[in-house]
Structure 1
Amino acid sequence: MNFELSEEQAMLRDASRDLLADRAPIERVRAWLDGDEDVDPEVWRLMAELGWPGLGLPEEYDGAGQGVVELALVAEELGRALGRGPFVPTAIVGRALAASGSSRLRAETLPALAAGSDWATWAFAEPHAPWTLDGVHATADAFVLDGVKTAVQDAGGARWLLVTARHDGVPALFLVDRDAPGITIRRQRVLDQTRAFYEVRFEGVRVPHERRLDAGPEEIQRLLDEASVLRCADALGVMERMLELTVEHTTARVQFERPIGSFQAVKHASADIALLVHGTRAATYYAAMAADAGADDSARAACAAASYASAGAGEVAARALQLHGGIGFTWEHDLHLHLRRARADSVLYGDAAVHRDRLCGLLRPSPASA
């Protein structure tokens, strides 16, 4: 598989990096840490002008018609810059609507999502349950939703919630207005301060029949795989920036009249970080390309990337902190913000154990072929 970016993809990556460096530098990120808003409105407006919200949506609904690779390029830059905002959750919901929504539902929602005037998020995970289809216990009896969802990103300002719930015992997707009666949203205090996560409670929330998407367990699992790949891309950007910060620190920090980066043990630790970053990049972009190509191994590739990135993000954070010493976890230093985001990325859409377990199942021969 060719991992070289096309000219258009390279331009997208560079434009994304330039925008975030210019309009969302680390000082602006810090200024928004204690805010109640899910997004920085000025930065989100600029993102919308560049077409980011509609990047993966069909052209007939004012989107750009791009794939998971292009979405991953932007997600990587958001991770590098610790960018906030609903780009990833909106992209996931948009792809679900484009693939499984009725024509009426697509016409109602996709142009608004593409324009960035509204956004959406996916309410999937539940408290004390794995980030898998087996972990879904919320119910939709006669299209009346009951249950609790956790770690729902940017739900505070979302226009729509894509809810995964069981109907007749089978996982299904429902698009719900965030302000519908019976919905209670509570901001959660989490380790990652650069993004907003919420607990969402559904108590007798009625959903019109046309708001159920034509998606079964297979389609939902594919959507979960794509979301995992975008999470890997975010983690990749965070890991890249932690490597850069570590190299800068070990080059500037002097002990025994030498930069500490000249000592062999520090070189080895830095090389280990670089290997994890390069491995995550290869696994992530292979999985994104496999998803766009509809390859037979796309599910296995997504699991491999997610398990590698989940473990790698935590390992890079730990090694970077070790090489920085105590300064790395002080409020004044930027490393601790990247460490927090890396830890969150290591569990979003399933931790390493979840994806390794599923990968083993995918690799195990079926009884028919045994």
Structure 2
Amino acid sequence: MTAPAQPATPDLLYSQDEEDLRAAVRALLADRADAPTVIAAAESGTPYDRRLWDELASGIGAAGLLVPERLGGQGASHREAAVVLEELGRAVVPAPYLTSSVMATETLLALAGADRGAAALLGELASGSRTAVLAVPFATPPSGAGSATAGPGGTVRGVADAAAADVLLVPTAEGLYAVEATAPGVRVEPLVPLDLTRPLAALTVPGTTGTRLAAPEASTAAVRRGLLAGAGLLASEQLGIAEWCLTETVRYTRERHQFNRPVGSFQALKHRMAQLWLEVVSARAAARNAADALATGSPDAPLAVAVAQAYCSGVAVHAAEACVQLHGGIGMTWEHPAHLYLKRAKADSIACGPAGAHRDAVARLADLPAP
């Protein structure tokens, strides 16, 4: 009698290639997206830097990490994409990487074998010459893929990075359509977001405009795949946010003195930062587990993603709140970037589904009684 196969042990460590990729992305962001630059861009109302995106997407090749080489991509995996998102989170960079290079790309990958249009569009996204967004509310969890269709009049609200997109992937009752953002009748109306570095918009797409890529059943499966990858790798962005907030807070409390002592030497603050460090370490394990499960096609990937989102979103918010508080007065100013991290963390906490929805998913997938 053959023993049942044992599940593969997840690899939570970073490979040398991943560390090299991290170094390249970090160097680019340090040069082109430092804190004053990001703050100024966020306040301008047009936060996207096209030159930065070109260098990230095509110069480094980050846009095509998830796309196979035969379709014009890098043939890497979700692990490498997760490293890029960690660095983008550390710098709260306004770039459509999560929405285009992960969510839209994964949606198209589900269809590339059966639709030449999807395969051709993947090549364009991988090169960085074009970007796409999945036209669903940014708060849609993977379990909501079946109901993620346009409302009355073909309107979808709360679509992230729609203003920067060249192509809209629109799920409808008739299937999934690829619609040019400049097509007649298409309207992109900016909304007022909490996070100024990731603008939201309301999309109006009339009728069945565009090219149909998939029938309804295949459309739902493709959208679910895109949302699952988005939720799983969003945890890595949240990890990057939390790591920056902890690192910056430790640095500041070492330099800031009161009563001739660094404020970081006060026991109450040391305890808070030590607890936060433990949370960040745990968040790293959860985020890496989700990225590895997606990369290996593990059957437990939905559970790993749900666990990562249920935990990492709260850690990012906690770290950002502590960063603002422990910086004292300077942390409350617009000149300091702490407010950008707090807003991104709060916005991310409901992106791809709030933590409560993912806890419900954990209960369902692990067959545990939900609260």
Query: Structures share a fold, TM > 0.5?
Result: yes
Change (3 A) 1:134 1:306: same
AA of the residue aligned to 2:157: T
Q: Distance in 1 between matches of 2:93 and 2:183?
A: 29
Output aligned runs, 1:84-99, within 5 Å: 84-91=94-101, 92-99=103-110
Secondary structure in 2 matching 1:93: helix
Q: Does 1:164 align with 2:171?
A: yes
Q: Does 1:301 align with 2:304?
A: yes
AA of the residue aligned to 1:110: L
Output aligned runs, 1:1-370, within 5 Å: 1-37=10-46, 39-47=48-56, 48-91=58-101, 92-101=103-112, 102-125=114-137, 132-133=143-144, 136=147, 138=149, 146-167=153-174, 172-210=175-213, 215-364=218-367
Q: Distance in 2 between matches of 1:131 and 1:307?
A: 13
Secondary structure in 1 matching 2:299: coil
Report the Cα offset of residue 139 of structure 1: 5.1
Q: Distance in 1 between matches of 2:149 and 2:347?
A: 24
Partner residue, 2:3: none
Report the Cα offset of residue 13 of structure 1: 1.1
AA of the residue aligned to 2:251: E
AA of the residue aligned to 2:60: L
Moved over 4 A (4+): 129-132, 210-214
Report the Cα offset of residue 340 of structure 1: 1.1
Report the Cα offset of residue 39 of structure 1: 2.1
210-219 or 226-235, which deviates more: 210-219
Is the Cα contact below 8 Å between 2:177 and 2:211 reproduced in 1? no
**Number of aligned residues:** 357
Q: Distance in 1 between matches of 2:95 and 2:132?
A: 11
Gaps of 5+ in 1: none
Change (3 A) 1:316 1:93: same
Report the Cα offset of residue 286 of structure 1: 0.4
Report the Cα offset of residue 137 of structure 1: 5.7
AA of the residue aligned to 2:82: A
Q: Distance in 2 between matches of 1:135 and 1:81?
A: 34
Change (3 A) 1:215 1:252: same
Secondary structure in 2 matching 1:21: helix
Per-residue CA deviations over 1:231-281 (Å, capped at 9, x if unaligned) read 111111111111111111211121222111111110011112111211111
Report the Cα offset of residue 36 of structure 1: 4.3
AA of the residue aligned to 1:81: A
AA of the residue aligned to 1:176: V
Is the Cα contact below 8 Å between 1:251 and 1:260 reproduced in 2? yes
Change (3 A) 1:213 1:293: farther
Secondary structure in 1 matching 2:62: coil
Q: Distance in 2 between matches of 1:3 and 1:130?
A: 24
Is the Cα contact below 8 Å between 1:100 and 1:213 reproduced in 2? no
Gaps of 5+ in 2: 1-9
Identity %: 36
TM-score, length of structure 1 as denominator length: 0.89
TM-score, length of structure 2 as denominator length: 0.89
Secondary structure in 1 matching 2:164: coil
Is the Cα contact below 8 Å between 1:174 and 1:213 reproduced in 2? no
Report the Cα offset of residue 349 of structure 1: 0.6
Report the Cα offset of residue 114 of structure 1: 1.5
Per-residue CA deviations over 1:140-185 (Å, capped at 9, x if unaligned) read 9xxxx94332332221131111223334xxxx53322222333221
Q: Distance in 2 between matches of 1:130 and 1:364?
A: 19
Q: Distance in 2 between matches of 1:311 and 1:165?
A: 33
Q: Distance in 1 between matches of 2:226 and 2:315?
A: 23
Secondary structure in 2 matching 1:33: helix
AA of the residue aligned to 2:275: D
Q: Distance in 2 between matches of 1:224 and 1:349?
A: 7
AA of the residue aligned to 1:151: G
Partner residue, 2:6: none
37-46 or 301-310, which deviates more: 37-46
Secondary structure in 2 matching 1:203: coil
